[in-house]
Amino acid sequence: MNYTNLPHTDIEVSKICLGTMTWGNQNTEAEGHEQMDYALEQGVNFFDTAELYPIPAAAERYAHTEKIIGTWFKKNRNREKMVLASKIVGRSPATSFIRTTGFNRESITAAVEGSLKRLQTDYLDLYQLHWPDRVTNYFGKRGYQYDGTDLWEDNFHQILETLRDLIREGKIRQVGISNETPWGTMRYLEESKVHHDLPRMITIQNPYSLLNRLYEVGLAEISHREDLGLLAYSPLGFGVLSGKYLGGRQPKDGRITLFPNYNRYSGETAVKATEMYHKLAMENGLSLAQMSLAYVNSRPFVTSNIIGATNLEQLKENIESIHIDLSDEVLQGIEAIHNQIPNPAP
């Protein structure tokens, strides 16, 4: 396993992070425990979760993923070996069963304390805002369009004040953002520069894959100049870049088969690009999944690559991507495809 540090900290994390959003829905508690056992054996010391998980979100399954991780910690008594990240859900009609108050002091505090209880731990190493409190472009929306319905008022300072107090209480160590735009990212960073007592956002968890390299447009420069680490999620595009849906296949346990509305990476252009990437991988003796993950692993702005799996074989293949160094020929082939079909999925 390769390791790096969360930016601006001495917290060492594996370059591969174990994503957990299927546990409690597509995966049982026993399967979640099995995945954590195997990942730890392979040197993965970084787990990412959220109060929203498992996905798709539902009131009857609220926070089941965190509970599964909590029982694993209780059983193994190894919390100190792991770097643990979680998130507070953003405001949305789809998450109104959790709360409707947005990121005010009461909601953030309650969310942190709820996660700590379910995870059976006293602290979180990284706490993230799952998506912006305001209406903007995220979750597959390519561009920003103001429609006049957003009643949001600037609350960057207040959010950071609340997070600062939770850090002082020892409940969280570091903070990050997720599904954020360049504007929102810089607002957080500038707020903590001007007000030195406020915590600095050190990571951003956004989608990044061969099918979606939009991070490179505005946020990659911020990563470079501000030392903000990307925690790349959906590096296989909901499993599309595993190749299992090629040829119109619909594997019965596949995420897109089970949840057809998760079709962000399944449009005609994305399928064409996937076919081209698959051909490139085959020509170079690689699986599509491992080439796709190895590419993400190699990007200089990526602090950790969040992989997910619904079975142990997938998990093994995904973790083994850390041992693959892509040749110049493969990298040039990837760029040629990207130039021909840039960012087919948002």
Q: In angstroms, rounded to a whole number, what is the distance separating the alpha carbons of residues 112 and 123? A: 9
Token pair of 243 as six digits: 């190749």
User: Is 201 in contact with 176 (CB distance < 8 Å)?
Assistant: yes
Contact in structure between 85 and 233 (CB atoms under 8 Å) = no
Using DSSP, state whether 108 is helix, strand or coil. Answer: helix
Query: What are phi and psi for residue 229, nearest 5 degrees?
Result: -85, 135
In angstroms, rounded to a whole number, what is the distance separating the alpha carbons of residues 326 and 286? 10
Region class of 343: left (phi > 0), else alpha (psi between -120 and 50), else beta? left
Sequence-separated (6 or more) residues with CB below 8 Å from residue 290: 281, 317, 318, 320, 321, 324
* C-alpha neighbours within 13 Å on the C-beta side of residue 255: 26
Distance CA 76, CA 73 (A): 5
Paired tokens of 25:
């829905």
Count of all residues that appear for the chain in the document: 346
CA proximity to 246, closest of 215, 281, 212: 281
d(CA 242, CA 278): 9
Q: Nearest 5°: phi and psi at 183? A: -60, -50
> Cα separation of 193 and 102, whole Å?
24
53 is catalytic: yes
Q: Residues near 76 by Cβ (< 8 Å), separated by ≥ 6?
A: none
Catalytic residue among 3, 38, 53, 138: 53
Q: Give me the active site residues, please.
A: 53
